[in-house]
Amino acid sequence: MSTQPIPTTSIESRKKVTTRTLRLKKRRAEPITMLTAYDYATALAVDKAGIDSILVGDSLGMVVLGYENTLPVTMEDMLHHCKAVARGAKTALLVGDMPFMSYQVSVKQAVRNAGRFLQEAGMDAVKLEGGRERADAIRAITSAGIPVMGHLGLTPQSVHQLGGFRAQAKEAAAAKTLLEDALILQDAGCFAIVLEAIPARLAELVSKQLDIPTIGIGAGVGCDGQVLVTHDLLGLFDRFTPSFVKKYANLHEVMFDAIAAYKDDVDRQLFPASEHTTDMKDDAWEAFVRMLD
């Protein structure tokens, strides 16, 4: 890992990233960067680093709330975290992930819930999972003026149907279905599509066939952009790390060491030291003691 500081463009000089920016980046063959964030502090750091887009992913159910999968995550959970991220990030395109059962029951409910991400939580766009079966919902949401990002391949909200968190579209027929779905999502109005855990050569072909950008996670370098779960990249989530993640830090270990050092300091009465302590002037103290007599 390089020890050189990485230059970041000053925040003031950066313009708000929009769906148009992503389209232009694809046209210019400039890679699009995206990361997840679920809280104010992380959003600040991701935005400051110049990442194009922040996804408030329902992955927060696993890495923040400790669920086994993303299915228990509710609209209220998502809106709560989206609001925190919106307070921290001023430049990145903010995408709120629609949770399980917030868009599957009816098109009307899908539009209403998508609207809440923009109206109540400060998001710029929403993301939802699935292929052709979501086309009607996508058309209706985009008709309401809400940009939609699609999500194909390993779609975690279908974990039970897929038989686990496993790579998708590895056989010819499934690859053909995925390509068709991508074209249908583009036609339905998606401004971009996440491709998760699919073969790299399929992701590259899909990316070339689409006019809209693809954002890959475990889908190789041929996508128009890349996204990772920030907790994985930072090594904050100790349960498991998918093989497609590059860990840039081990913050779980850093956090554990700091907490253990604090405990040790308190046990040995080394903390708080004088510099962490407020004192009272002698005359005020003496006046106080006199009051007690």
- Binding site residues, ligand KIV, CB under 6 A: 36, 55, 57-59, 97, 151, 194, 196, 217, 227, 229
Q: Which is nearer to ligand KIV, 188 or 194 (CB)?
A: 194
The residue number whose beta carbon is nearest to ligand KIV equals 57
Residue 95 C-beta: closest distance to ligand KIV, Å: 9
CA gap 275, 293 in Å, rounded: 31
Indicate the helix (H) or strand (E) that contains 228: strand 225-228
Choice among 76, 196, 275, 286 that is catalytic = 196
**What CA–CA distance (Å, rounded) separates 166 from 147?**
28
Q: Which is nearer to ligand KIV, 14 or 72 (CB)?
A: 72
Give 47 or 58: the residue with its C-beta nearer to ligand KIV: 58
Smallest distance, ligand KIV to C-beta of residue 277, A: 43
Shortest approach of ligand KIV to residue 230 CB, angstroms?
9
Is the distance from CB of 59 to CB of 232 less than 8 angstroms?
no
Whether residue 253 lies in the annotated active site: no
Give min distance, CB of 60 to ligand KIV, in A. 7
Which residue's CB is nearer to ligand KIV, number 98 or number 202? Answer: 98
Q: Helix 40-48 crosses helix 75-88 at what angle (to 10 degrees)?
A: 50
- Whether a cis peptide bond, with omega within 30° of 0, leads into 213 is no
Q: Reduce the DSSP state of residue 251 to 3 states and report it.
A: helix
Distance CA 209, CA 227 (A): 20
Active centre residues (catalytic): 196
